[in-house]
């Protein structure tokens, strides 16, 4: 009766006053009731920290945060599963880099395998027109990241138009891109998403310098880029339809080889020289999947 009555009293001071009154002169009774009350309230709250962890939104890294020895300055890019930051390395040398990290909640086995495949693909290559990988690691939350050479520039098509390049100059710039893709192929890597936003151009020593970036859906030829299982799901298109070869649009991974990248290069060359692509991007974006396949073929 005393315990039930005490539980009905909300305030701690009022409950203590009630116990003073009903347990007068009986210290053992008072101690037993207080022990039961403590156990009751502990039962009500002991799962709260767990529930809080389960329902709490995973924290995303942002400006000023540290990942390893790198300080995040600002976000400069975002994809389906990863975020790219402009970051500053302090030791052993001070420099700005690009840091790519998997988004919170996106660290499935498939995403991690694809992320590690991109990192390994970049590590295999050493070419002046391909962004280099510097470092890799895990965040405190257990999500992988890797650090790349910072490539600042604009898409190759935009650079050509804004700077009114002559045809010869456009072809020279495009030739550097071809050399980069050839190097990737020689290392056994198919890019599979060759398009202007993945070819950035900036001035270096007063001359335009093209760099190929984003090997996020790259495919290896005759080797594994990661020990983790990496599956390209049948029925899921990977790449950008406007620049995609017909065989890549078929969503059959075995049908894609180096010729798919060469096809994409041809589309980019067409766009650099004419100002448009063979297929209308707006039409492809609004087409059904079946209609898109028909147009690409």
Quick one: average pLDDT of 183-189? Answer: 94
- The pLDDT value recorded for residue 11 is 63
Quick one: average pLDDT of 109-113? Answer: 84
pTM strictly above 0.85: no
Q: Which of 107, 193, 214, 261 is catalytic?
A: 193
The pLDDT confidence band at residue 52, using thresholds 50, 70 and 90, is: low
Residue 144 scores a pLDDT above 70: yes
Q: Count the Cβ atoms, other than its own, within 10 Å of residue 116.
A: 18
Please tell me the number of Cα atoms within 13 Å of 21 on its side-chain side.
9
- The pLDDT value recorded for residue 236 is 61
- The pLDDT value recorded for residue 166 is 97
- Give per-residue pLDDT as tens, 273-283: 999 999 988 88
- Give per-residue pLDDT as tens, 56-68: 556 678 889 999 9
Q: Quote the CA–CA distance of 106 and 46 in Å, as a whole number.
A: 29
- The pLDDT value recorded for residue 220 is 82
- The pLDDT value recorded for residue 256 is 86
Residue 159 scores a pLDDT above 90: yes
| Cα of 28 vs its chain's centroid, Å | 62
Query: Is 154-296 assigned to CATH 1.10.510.10?
Result: yes
The pLDDT confidence band at residue 151, using thresholds 50, 70 and 90, is: very high
CATH of 65-149, one of 3.20.20.150, 3.40.640.10, 3.40.50.880, 3.30.200.20: 3.30.200.20
| Positive or negative: CA dihedral 185, 190, 226, 213 | positive
State the chain's mean pLDDT as an integer.
Answer: 83
- The pLDDT value recorded for residue 114 is 83
Q: Quote the CA–CA distance of 243 and 32 in Å, as a whole number.
A: 77
CB 62 within 8 A of CB 72: yes
Instruction: For residue 193, indicate whether it is catalytic.
Output: yes
């Amino acid at each position: 009766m005393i315990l039930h009555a005490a539980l009905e009293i909300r305030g701690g001071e009022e409950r203590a006053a009630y116990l003073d009154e009903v347990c007068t002169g009986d210290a053992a009774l008072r101690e037993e009731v207080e022990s039961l009350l403590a156990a009751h309230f502990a039962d009500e709250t002991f799962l709260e920290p767990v529930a809080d962890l389960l329902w709490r939104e995973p924290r995303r890294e942002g400006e000023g945060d540290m990942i390893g020895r790198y300080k995040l300055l600002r976000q400069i890019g975002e994809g389906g599963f990863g975020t790219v930051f402009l970051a500053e390395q302090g030791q052993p040398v001070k420099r700005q880099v690009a840091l790519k990290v998997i988004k919170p909640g996106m660290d499935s086995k498939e995403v991690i395998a694809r992320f590690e495949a991109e990192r390994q693909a970049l590590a295999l290559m050493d070419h002046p027109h391909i962004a280099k990988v510097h470092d890799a690691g895990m965040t405190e939350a257990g999500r992988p990241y890797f650090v790349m050479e910072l490539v600042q520039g604009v898409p190759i098509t935009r650079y050509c138009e804004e700077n009114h390049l002559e045809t010869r100059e456009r072809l020279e710039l495009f030739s550097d891109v071809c050399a980069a893709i050839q190097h990737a192929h020689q290392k056994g890597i198919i890019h599979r998403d060759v398009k202007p936003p993945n070819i950035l151009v900036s001035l270096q020593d007063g001359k335009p310098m093209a760099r190929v970036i984003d090997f996020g859906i790259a495919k290896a030829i005759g080797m594994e880029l990661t020990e983790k299982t990496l599956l390209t799901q049948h029925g899921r298109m990977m790449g950008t339809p406007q620049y995609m070869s017909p065989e890549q649009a078929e969503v059959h991974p075995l049908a894609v080889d180096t010729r798919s990248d060469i096809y994409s290069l041809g589309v980019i060359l067409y766009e650099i020289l004419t100002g448009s692509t063979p297929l209308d991007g707006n039409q492809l974006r609004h087409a059904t999947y079946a209609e898109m396949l028909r147009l690409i073929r």
